[in-house]
């Protein structure tokens, strides 16, 4: 039986409140399965987040009619109201599932969803009410039918759509068997329409493969302008969230830079416990806000038994770097959750030393720490530490990832930021213990800020001016609440550290 409103959603949240792994201030569904963010849109002063949802159980379910569109709304990106399910697989063209898609305002000023209905193809729905609760599916659905063997396009990847002048454009990726088999690179297919009913296939928007590996596809694309470039967000089914930035002209996209937002230690890490599908909206202040899914990192049987699966990452504001890199930072609205501030300053860290910050404890925290280093090869902080160190999650800033023997001031500015989860949990139920890591270009002698969010079973890290790492952690011990700072191989200085407890927005 599906949920019919906020009352049943509140009861479902209360029923799961005792689970210590349910985050307290990240968005998650009231119960059962949450997957891709869908249809993110800012409408009449409110942020709307739709998401793939199985209301029958904590599992995906495949093409069996389990995938619906859940729906929540917020005025501040922090506190969310659950709304009734927006789309359900009730028609022949989507009876096997209302899969992912996006939302936009059509030329008549009406909020519109474009989504992948299985088995039919690309479908349209519109809403006329203030809270976008009631959705009417287009009578011509599927407006872009699933292709036959002779068609040049695919509709496997969820669509996104936009308007240029008097024309609608739609884009769908190639999350197809051909990509998985290595027979084609990641790419996306472009369509146009004058009326949202009759669509013409144009050509591929771009051809990838230069920066991705064999088997990577372009799933859940989101295409939009940012600064003086265009951005294509997508996720491959093998390696998770990534992007291209580049130029867009004459309905063709030329990527000039590629980046990843999820970094496994191996190329094909099964996407467990990391950032996966992402989608954005443009809010009333002209800010591009991104929502992304952080998948579970536990075995499937545990997820099914727990009654819920999947969370969203913190909402992030996007900006463009000078060299076309995508910069991610947490939205400032999260500061409203801060409570009980604690401050430290000017702590000298000798080589191979660890300092426990006794007044900073907990598993719902925000920490902002500013370090500099003299001779240290690595420094950082650890969260969710047990007293004996058996459990801890480390945020490591390695200044010499190539193990050079040169003096510090002569090293390359390429540093390595690592979210080390190898000792995050002693639980046998954790499936993926691969750390997340990314390269950060940072000049010797300049301080670096590490901003860390801890929310029970998840840690997210923002470094410098827009680097991001996120991972699910699942500490098993109730005493894993400590925080430490450290330096290895030489000295460093913790110039300042501010820490706050974060309010819960969900029952815990």
Asked if residue 180 has pLDDT above 80, the reply is no
Mean pLDDT over 148-163 rounds to 90
pLDDT band at 2 (very low <50, low <70, confident <90, very high): very low
What mean pLDDT is reported for the chain? Answer: 94
* pLDDT of amino acid 178: 74
* Residue among 363, 258, 280, 314 nearest 462 (CA): 314
pLDDT at residue number 284: 95
Percent of the chain with pLDDT strictly greater than 90? 85
Tell whether the model's pLDDT for residue 439 goes beyond 50. yes
Q: Evaluate if residue 6 carries a pLDDT over 70.
A: no
Q: Please, are residues 291 and 49 in contact by the beta-carbon 8 Å criterion?
A: yes
Q: Is the pLDDT of residue 337 over 70?
A: yes
Q: Give residue 481's pLDDT band: very low, low, confident or very high (50, 70, 90).
A: very high
Q: Where are the domains of the chain?
A: 6-333, 339-501
Q: Is the dihedral of CA 406, 408, 412, 416 positive or negative?
A: positive
- Sign of the alpha-carbon torsion through 106, 112, 116, 122: negative
CATH number of 339-501: 2.60.120.560
- pLDDT tens sequence across 116-154: 999 999 999 999 999 999 999 999 999 999 998 888 898
pLDDT of residue 265: 57
Please, which residues have CB within 8 angstroms of residue 106's CB and are 6 or more apart in sequence? 112, 126, 163, 168, 196
Kindly report whether the peptide bond that precedes residue 119 is cis, defined as omega within 30 degrees of 0: yes
Determine the pLDDT at residue 268.
Answer: 46
pTM: 0.95
Q: Which residue matches tokens 């894993």?
A: 480
pLDDT > 70: what percent of the chain? 97
Confidence (pLDDT) at 5: 53
Do domains 6-333 and 339-501 share one topology? The answer is no
Judged by average pLDDT, the poorest of 244-253, 311-320, 436-445 is: 436-445
319-334 per-position pLDDT tens digit: 999 999 999 999 999 9
pLDDT for the residue 1: 34
For the domain covering 6-333, report its CATH number.
2.115.10.20
Rounded distance, CA 160 to CA 143, Å? 14
Mean pLDDT confidence for 173-193? 85
CB-based burial of residue 67 (10 Å sphere; 0-12 exposed, 13-18 middle, 19+ buried)?
buried
pLDDT value at residue 495: 98
Give the per-residue pLDDT at 3.
45
pLDDT digits (tens, 9 = 90+) for 244-270: 999 999 999 999 999 999 876 554 446
Query: Token digits for 8?
Result: 């049943």
369-393 pLDDT, tens digit per residue, is: 999 999 999 999 999 999 999 999 9
Span 271-306, pLDDT tens digits: 789 999 999 999 999 999 999 999 999 999 999 999
Name the phi and psi angles at 173, rounded to 5.
Answer: -90, -170
CA–CA distance, 294 with 36 (Å, rounded to integer): 9
Q: Give residue 264's pLDDT.
A: 62
- Rounded Cα distance, 505 and 427, in Å: 27
Residue 416 and residue 395 in contact, taking contact as beta carbons nearer than 8 Å: no
Q: Are 431 and 422 in contact (CB under 8 A)?
A: no
Does the structure show a pLDDT above 90 at 156? no
């Amino acid at each position: 039986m599906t949920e019919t409103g906020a009352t049943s959603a509140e009861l479902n949240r209360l029923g799961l409140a005792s689970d210590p792994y349910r985050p307290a201030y990240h968005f998650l569904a009231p119960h059962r399965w949450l997957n891709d963010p869908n249809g993110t849109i800012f409408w009449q002063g409110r942020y709307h987040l739709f998401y793939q949802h199985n209301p029958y159980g904590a599992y995906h379910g495949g093409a069996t009619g389990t995938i619906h569109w859940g729906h929540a709304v917020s005025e501040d990106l922090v506190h969310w109201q659950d709304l009734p399910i927006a789309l359900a697989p009730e028609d022949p063209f989507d009876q096997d599932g209302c899969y992912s898609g996006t939302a936009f305002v059509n030329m008549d000023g009406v909020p519109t969803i474009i989504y992948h209905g299985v088995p039919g193809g690309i479908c349209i729905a519109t809403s006329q009410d203030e809270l976008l609760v009631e959705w009417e599916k287009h009578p011509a659905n599927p407006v872009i039918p699933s292709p036959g063997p002779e068609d040049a396009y695919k509709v496997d990847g969820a669509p996104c759509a936009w308007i240029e002048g008097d024309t609608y454009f739609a884009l769908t990726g190639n999350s197809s068997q051909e990509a998985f088999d290595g027979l084609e690179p990641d790419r996306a297919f472009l369509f146009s329409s004058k009326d949202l009913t009759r669509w013409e296939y144009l050509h591929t928007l771009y051809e990838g493969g230069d920066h991705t590996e064999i088997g990577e596809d372009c799933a859940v694309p989101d295409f939009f302008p940012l600064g003086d470039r265009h951005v294509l967000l997508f996720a491959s089914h093998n390696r998770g969230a990534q992007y291209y930035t580049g130029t867009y002209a004459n309905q063709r996209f030329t990527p000039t830079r590629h980046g990843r937002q999820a970094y496994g230690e191996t190329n094909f890490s099964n996407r467990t416990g990391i950032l996966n599908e992402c989608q954005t909206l443009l809010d009333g202040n002209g800010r591009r806000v991104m929502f992304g899914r952080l998948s579970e990192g536990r075995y499937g049987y545990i997820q099914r038994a727990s009654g819920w699966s999947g969370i969203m990452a913190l909402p992030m504001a996007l900006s463009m770097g000078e060299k076309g890199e995508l910069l991610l930072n947490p939205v400032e609205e999260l500061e409203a959750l801060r409570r009980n501030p604690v401050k430290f300053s000017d702590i000298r860290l000798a080589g191979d030393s660890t300092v426990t910050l006794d007044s900073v404890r907990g598993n719902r925290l925000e920490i902002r720490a500013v370090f500099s280093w003299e001779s240290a090869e690595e420094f950082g902080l650890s969260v969710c530490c047990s007293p004996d160190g058996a459990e801890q999650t480390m945020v490591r800033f390695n200044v010499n990832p190539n193990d050079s023997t040169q003096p510090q001031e002569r090293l390359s500015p390429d540093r390595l930021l690592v979210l080390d989860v190898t000792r995050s949990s002693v639980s046998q139920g954790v499936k993926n213990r691969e750390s997340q890591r990314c390269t950060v270009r940072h000049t010797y002698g300049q301080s670096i800020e590490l901003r860390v969010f801890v929310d029970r079973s998840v840690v997210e890290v923002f470094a410098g001016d827009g680097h991001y790492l996120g991972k699910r952690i699942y500490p098993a011990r109730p005493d894993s609440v400590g925080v430490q700072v450290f330096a290895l191989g030489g000295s460093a200085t913790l110039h300042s550290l501010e820490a706050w407890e974060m309010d819960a927005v969900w029952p815990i």
